[in-house]
């Protein structure tokens, strides 16, 4: 059974966490490169896989294919909202991270699992779909768009509850997903989320009408990720 080291980082500044991701990401890639130089493959060291859960203080992040015009605040307004902004090296457009949102960063070597980035994204989505089902929230995918959606078949009601944005190099992943549990949804009004201006954003709290047990939701999501990817936690 494959092993993944899990860390719950609590609340951590976005840039501090991004730097930590980059450190783990580089270490994994360096190990893979080192392994390929070995004359005897039996001497290879299996790169460590990681899963980080974290909450960030209010922050907006723009992916490398995104449009800065989708951030609707200027520098002064960002400060007034007690928020920061970063242009980063993941795919996708703009999104928001904040307290009571589960942000997950799998830093895993897909050579140990399967070399299919689309399957990887679908598994991340499926883990969230299964977690929501534990709370009797029916969710699904929306054709042509990543993430997890409620009422995706109804254009007037479709709303996103989890966003995805990843980077993959040498089949090693970083960045990941953001799952709205008890998120302050007003912050999504300050952007055009993921560049999609005709869809709403929601959270578990909004859908169920009551604040959710954040630690319980994290625990259920951890279990579903391990089952889907067939790994054990270190």
Residues noted as catalytic: 194
201: its two tokens: 């954003």
209: its two tokens: 């009408």
Which residue, 23, 212, 2, is CA-closest to 101? 212
4: its two tokens: 């993944």
Nearest-5° Cα angle at 205, 210 to 69: 150
Measured over all CA atoms, what is the biggest interatomic distance in the chain, rounded to whole angstroms?
A: 60
Residues pairing with 86 in the sheet: 61
């Amino acid at each position: 059974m494959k092993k993944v080291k899990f860390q719950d980082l609590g609340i951590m500044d976005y840039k501090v966490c991004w730097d930590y991701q980059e450190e783990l990401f580089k270490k994994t890639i360096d190990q893979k490169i080192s392994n390929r130089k070995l004359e005897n493959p039996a001497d290879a060291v299996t790169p460590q896989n990681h899963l980080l859960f974290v909450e960030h203080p209010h922050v907006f992040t723009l992916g490398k294919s995104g449009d800065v015009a989708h951030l609707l605040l200027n520098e002064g307004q960002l400060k007034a909202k007690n928020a920061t902004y970063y242009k980063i090296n993941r795919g996708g457009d703009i999104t928001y991270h904040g307290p009571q949102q589960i942000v997950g960063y799998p830093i895993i070597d897909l050579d140990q699992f399967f070399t299919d980035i689309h399957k990887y994204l679908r598994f991340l989505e499926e883990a969230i779909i299964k977690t929501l089902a534990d709370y009797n929230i029916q969710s699904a995918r929306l054709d042509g768009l990543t993430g997890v959606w409620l009422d995706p078949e109804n254009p007037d009601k479709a709303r996103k509850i989890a966003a995805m944005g990843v980077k993959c190099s040498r089949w090693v992943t970083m960045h990941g997903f953001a799952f709205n549990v008890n998120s302050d949804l007003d912050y999504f009004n300050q952007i055009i989320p993921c560049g999609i201006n005709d869809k709403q954003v929601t959270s578990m709290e909004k859908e169920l009408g009551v604040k959710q047990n954040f630690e319980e939701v994290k625990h259920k999501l951890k279990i579903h990720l391990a089952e889907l990817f067939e790994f054990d936690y270190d």
